[in-house]
Amino acid sequence: MRLILKMTAVSVKMFMRQKEAVLWSILLPLFMVFLFSFVSFDGLGTISLGIVNHSSDTTLVGFLQPIKTLKIFEGEEEQELTRLREGDRALVLIIPASFQSAGTDSLTLYLNAERPQETQAGRVIVQRAVDEMVFRRHSVPRPTLRTESINSRNLSYIDFLLPGILAMSIMNSGIFGVAFGFVILKKRGILRRLLVTPINPRDFIISQVISRLMVLMLQVVIMVVAGMMLFELHFAGSLLDMLIVGVLGGIVFLAIGFTLSGVSKSEDQVAPLANVITLPMMFLSGIFFSRSNLPGIAHTITDFFPLTYLADGLRTIAIEGATLGDIWQQVLGLAVWAVVTIALAVKAFRWE
């Protein structure tokens, strides 16, 4: 026991002295959050509308222009239709030469068939602008719609992103750290050197796992604290719950790391394997963007990714202040993964 504690302390010390490792696991995630905090996603929700006005009446255009959801381009008919075909416009509105705001001449609206969601919304908006024009002219009495937005916590993209990045860095330091670390220990003969001492090899593994989990907990605390101080993270949950879920996820990814180090002989073999496992999860587990846009089957498959469980769990705690009971599905998912991956690691791990 004393030896395990001692080796754990030594491992943490070695980790802290490895500047690259500290950089990767603690500063890099923060830096990514920092970078993404500058990214504006306002442009993502807009609908591009080309307007070709053959008339001299600009009333309708005047009604359309202030609508924020629309990104309006005015141009020649041929040019705008080309843009539509090339996919640069969701809709193109043609206003005929004879158009008058008081008249009844038809307008033509071309829709980009490949962007049904945008064109549907754009069509309603254009129709609404036409109606508004008519209402204004006739001063038709009508009920008004008073809107009020309720979003007491005013969540931002950072609130979504930060727990995701945290989950991702837990995955990366678990898988890459252990897989590379142990392949190097094996290749350089350090494990063999330990095997001629009377230590129980299992104690060494345990100390490695504990020290890595301690670093992981440090990652969680630093991310949450730095998020609140630097990025206005709205952290509503319990830090302890974050740590528990983080450690559970960490165990899964450490076990994957041990498995990979068991099946590979050199760093060259570890790298592609680790990438094959981590890259799809990084992009499909809802780290940077919500998974809600994934098509049905992909959504169902990614539901079961360990990184999805971890990211969703951490995020729900952070944003909604959920307790472990509230996210029992994620906790259960990670626990099942932990059992599976530990079994794999025990089977695959080799000392030499």
Partner 1 sequence: MSTVLEVQNLTKRYGDLVAVNGVSFSVNRQEIFGILGPNGAGKTSTLEMIETLRPIDSGTVMLDGLDVTKHPQKVKRIIGVQLQASAFFDKLSLTELLLLFGEMYSRQVDPLALLNEVELKDKAKSYVTDLSGGQKQRFSIAAALVNDPVILFLDEPTTGLDPQARRHLWGVIKRIRSEGKTVVLTTHYMEEAEELCERVAIMDNGKIIANAPPQELVQQLIGKGFKKERVERLASLEDVFLDLTGHSLRADQ
| The residue type at 77 | E
Q: Among residues 14 and 124, whose Cβ is nearest to partner 1?
A: 14
Residue partners of 311: CB distance under 8 A and separation at least 6: 163, 164, 167, 168, 285, 286, 287
Q: Among residues 208 and 341, whose Cβ is nearest to partner 1?
A: 208
Residues that bind partner 1 (CB under 8 A): 2-3, 6-7, 10, 13-14, 17-18, 188-190, 192-199
Tell me how far, at minimum, the Cβ of 212 lies from partner 1, in Å: 15
Residue the block writes with tokens 């001449």: 105
Burial of 9 (C-beta count, 10 Å sphere; 0-12/13-18/19+): middle
Q: Among residues 49 and 205, whose Cβ is nearest to partner 1?
A: 205
Beta strands 70-74 and 47-53: pairing type?
A: parallel
Tell me how far, at minimum, the Cβ of 315 lies from partner 1, in Å: 34
Tell me how far, at minimum, the Cβ of 2 lies from partner 1, in Å: 8
Residue the block writes with tokens 């780290």: 287
Q: Among residues 209 and 248, whose Cβ is nearest to partner 1?
A: 209
Tell me how far, at minimum, the Cβ of 204 lies from partner 1, in Å: 9
Tell me how far, at minimum, the Cβ of 15 lies from partner 1, in Å: 8
Q: Among residues 6 and 128, whose Cβ is nearest to partner 1?
A: 6
**Cα(184)–Cα(10) distance, integer angstroms:** 18
Q: Among residues 1 and 113, whose Cβ is nearest to partner 1?
A: 1
With b for 16 or more beta-carbon neighbours within 10 A and e for fewer, the 171-183 pattern comes to bbbbbbbbbbbbb
Tell me how far, at minimum, the Cβ of 199 lies from partner 1, in Å: 5
Tell me how far, at minimum, the Cβ of 247 lies from partner 1, in Å: 24
**Cα(164)–Cα(144) distance, integer angstroms:** 41
Q: Among residues 190 and 298, whose Cβ is nearest to partner 1?
A: 190
Q: Among residues 2 and 202, whose Cβ is nearest to partner 1?
A: 2
**Cα(152)–Cα(121) distance, integer angstroms:** 27
Tell me how far, at minimum, the Cβ of 181 lies from partner 1, in Å: 11
CB atoms within 10 A of CB 328: 13
CB atoms within 10 A of CB 57: 18
Tell me how far, at minimum, the Cβ of 6 lies from partner 1, in Å: 5
Q: Among residues 11 and 219, whose Cβ is nearest to partner 1?
A: 11
